[in-house]
Every structure is written in C-alpha cells, then in structure tokens.
C-alpha cells in the first residue's frame, strides 16, 4: 500500500498546505490514539514540539484528536526529539509525538510518532494509522473524553538523563564551549546540561521567536558558529539542528567536523574500552569512504543502509550495534537512547576532549576524507533514472570508479530532485563523473 501521509521520518510539509494542516493533525491524533488504545488502563500520549510558530496550531489539533478518542495528553512544550522518545518510555505512555520539521525552515512542520518503547513506529504501524485516518473516527462518549495537561519538570528530567551518558568522574571545567541551538528545541536544555558539567558556555541560537528556527544558525548554517568560536577563542563549538537530533562540531580552528568523524571517534573510544557492540558502526550510503577504510584499519566494519536515521537504527537493532548515524550529524548511541541525540553525542565528544588533553582539531581528525562530491538535479516530471541513456552513463561511471571509489545515485524522498554523489581518490575524476551523470539526467528529464 502506497503511503499518503507518512514519509521516511513521519509526516512533514509546509504548514497549512497538503499534509500539514490542523485538520490532518487532528486526524493523526484520532487515528494514532485509536491504534494505541489497547488494554483496560487509562491511556496517555506525550506531546513535545520545537519552537515553530505553527507548533501551537499542530499541538492543539493533535490534543483535540487524541482526547476525542479517549486518550489523556501530557504536553512538555519545546524539547528535543530524543527527549520525547525518552519521556514516552519513562512515563509509561502508550505513544509519543514530536512536532518538528527538524532542520527545515520555519514554514514547514512535521509529526513524528514514537511507540511505548521510545522507538519510532514501524512501517506497518504507520500504514495502520493511515488506514484509520481514512475512516470515521471512533469518538468516545462524553464522560470518556481525555484530559490534557502540561508538565513543568520535563526539561529537568531530560537534562538529568543526558548527563548520565558521561562517566561520573568527568567534568568539563576549563573548557570554553560555543553551543548553537538553532533557535530550536534545545535552546534551554543543551546549554544547561553542558554548563552543569562545568564548562564555560557561550550560547547562541537561543532566542526563538517562532520564525527564526534554523535561520542562519544551527548545524545546517555554520558560518555564525565558526566565527563565534574564533572570536571567543573557544576550545570547541557544538551545533545542533532544530529538533536537536543532529550534531556538527566546529574545532578550535573554525573547521567543520561532520558526523563521519564523530562516529569514528566515538567508535574507536568504545572499542578501546571494550564497550563497542556489533563489531563496527552502522551508517548510510552517504558516509565517506575514508570512514570505512579507517574502521577496517582498526578491525571494525562499516555497515551501510539507505539514507535516513530510521534505517540506520533498524540495522543497529538487528545487529546489536551501539554506534550509528549519518554524515549529516544524526548520532544514534543506543546505550543512551532510542533515537538520534545531538546533545548526548556532544557530551561524549566533550568527555573525549577532556580525557585526551588534545585540541579538538587533532582529536576529531580521525581520518582523511576521500574526495566526495554531491550534486542535485531538479526535474519536473517522469523518471529520468529509468532512461537507457542515463543507465548507460551510470554503468560506465561505476566501471571507472571500481576499486577506487563509490557512486551513489538516488531520488530525494521529499522533492523532485535526483542526488548524484561520487567519491574516490582522484578529485578531478570524481567531479568529471558527477558532471557526466548530472548532464545525462538533465537531458533525460
């Protein structure tokens, strides 16, 4: 059955259009509530959000939907996505909901659902909810309508939990850390957690106004934090995205450290302590070949999945891995959570910085990246990747790179774009390969 509402990471779209309207949000609440009404206990859903203006509208619509089918609602206000996953499990809720469009601009919003175990829902569960959304809701009698309340201690619970991811003997005293919260969901909790562990914190991206989330700040807009790290003479910069499940690091020289380097560092540290499970790391097809070679050199594997942190997590659970993520900064450390958590990953990086005594530029340069180039080709219709001319060019490129590079070509899951990525030891060859394929796709489209 084709998905109408759910994409690779819940439901997402431009607010007040398409799938992201108040009407649809209420239907999601009614359908998801109905799906999770199991057993005779009083049912509860935890709802969190980031700082988008539209979060109020979506939250209210979801509350109406859930309470109309008999679910009690607990609202946390702005909190990171991993905090909602944690609280869903800790509060023994039947369901968790995060209202966020992650790193997208404020005009977009989204709905992510978590089961009682704190993990994102399976494809089967999402399809079941979609089916219920197309049916008349099972409204309860007036005396069984759910109640809604806000809780005040959610932030404190999450801060306490993430601090437990660091060994009790570790303190960040003496570290100067710039923390960029993207004017998003972690604008209070991330600086607080790092400060409480002893660091001097320079916080930025902590003045959300409903429309400035991810605007010129955060993990997808790094110019501001790079300048601030250099200006302050900080030891390191921590950049989160709108819902704080991503982490990009800036070293003391103002250079970017992406998710591949962070995964390499964390995995090697856990291996040295005997705490790494699964025999390696799980990442996506977009992770750099340099990471794969580095891990092989220390006796570990790199298992690749489709793009999307849900696919990384699925493979981690299947294979018993405790480190995984994406080059873009999603960091999944299953010893400490059930979904990506940029703040937890940041604390692990800071702990390694303290233990090593090395500058961030040295500690976090785990491997030399192989030259990698990604280009996007927008098209107006059709299926250009199925054209014989495109297939022929791709086949020739794969032969050319065989044994010395990789080629990844995929359509975007959210827009009419073909993504063409190649990597290899010869940067000029990589660029030539990508350009040839992009030209072929444009001609076919």
Joined together, the tokens standing for residue 152 give 């005040």
Given the residues 100, 102, 165, 328, select the one marked as catalytic: 102
Can 102 be counted among the known catalytic residues? yes
Phi and psi for 238 in degrees, rounded to 5? -120, 115
* 71 and 33 Cβ atoms separated by less than 8 Å: yes
Catalytic residues: 102
């Amino acid at each position: 059955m084709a998905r109408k509402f759910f994409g690779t990471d819940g439901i997402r779209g431009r607010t007040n259009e398409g799938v992201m309207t108040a009407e649809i949000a209420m239907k999601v609440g009614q359908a998801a509530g109905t799906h999770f009404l199991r057993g005779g206990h009083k049912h509860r859903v935890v709802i969190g959000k980031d700082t988008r203006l539209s979060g109020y509208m979506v939250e209210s619509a979801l509350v109406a939907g859930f309470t109309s089918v008999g679910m009690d609602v607990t609202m946390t206000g702005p909190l990171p996505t991993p905090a909602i996953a944690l609280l869903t499990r800790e509060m023994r809720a039947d369901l968790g909901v995060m209202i966020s469009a992650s790193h997208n601009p404020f005009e977009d919003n989204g709905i992510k659902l978590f089961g009682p175990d704190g993990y994102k829902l399976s494809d089967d569960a999402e399809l079941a909810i979609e089916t219920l959304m197309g049916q008349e809701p099972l409204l309860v009698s007036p005396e069984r309508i759910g109640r809604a309340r806000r809780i005040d201690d959610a932030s404190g619970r999450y801060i306490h939990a993430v601090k437990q991811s660091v060994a009790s003997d570790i303190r960040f005293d003496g570290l100067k850390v710039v923390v960029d919260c993207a004017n998003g969901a972690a604008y209070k909790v991330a600086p607080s957690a790092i400060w409480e562990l002893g660091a001097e914190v320079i916080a930025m991206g902590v003045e959300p106004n409903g429309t400035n989330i991810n605007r010129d700040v955060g993990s997808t807009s790094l110019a501001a934090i790079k300048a601030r790290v250099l200006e302050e003479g900080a030891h390191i910069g921590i950049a989160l995205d709108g819902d704080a499940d991503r982490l990009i690091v800036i070293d003391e020289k103002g250079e970017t450290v992406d998710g591949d380097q962070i995964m390499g560092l964390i995995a090697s540290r856990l291996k040295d302590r005997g705490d790494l499970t699964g025999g390696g790391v799980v990442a996506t097809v977009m992770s750099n070949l340099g990471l794969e070679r580095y891990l092989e050199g220390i006796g570990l594997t790199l298992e690749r999945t489709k793009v999307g942190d849900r696919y990384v997590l699925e493979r981690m659970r299947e294979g018993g891995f405790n480190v995984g993520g994406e080059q873009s900064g999603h960091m999944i450390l299953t010893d400490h959570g059930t979904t990506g958590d940029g703040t937890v990953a940041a604390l692990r990086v800071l702990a390694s910085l303290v233990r090593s005594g090395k500058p961030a530029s040295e500690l976090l340069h785990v491997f030399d990246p192989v030259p990698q180039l990604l280009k996007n080709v927008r098209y107006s219709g059709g299926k250009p990747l199925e054209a014989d001319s495109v297939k022929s060019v791709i086949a020739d490129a794969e032969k050319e790179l065989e044994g010395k590079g990789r080629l990844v070509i995929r359509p975007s899951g959210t827009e009419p774009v073909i993504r063409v990525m190649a990597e290899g030891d010869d940067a000029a060859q990589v660029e030539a390969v990508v350009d040839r394929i992009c030209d072929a796709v444009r001609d076919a489209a």
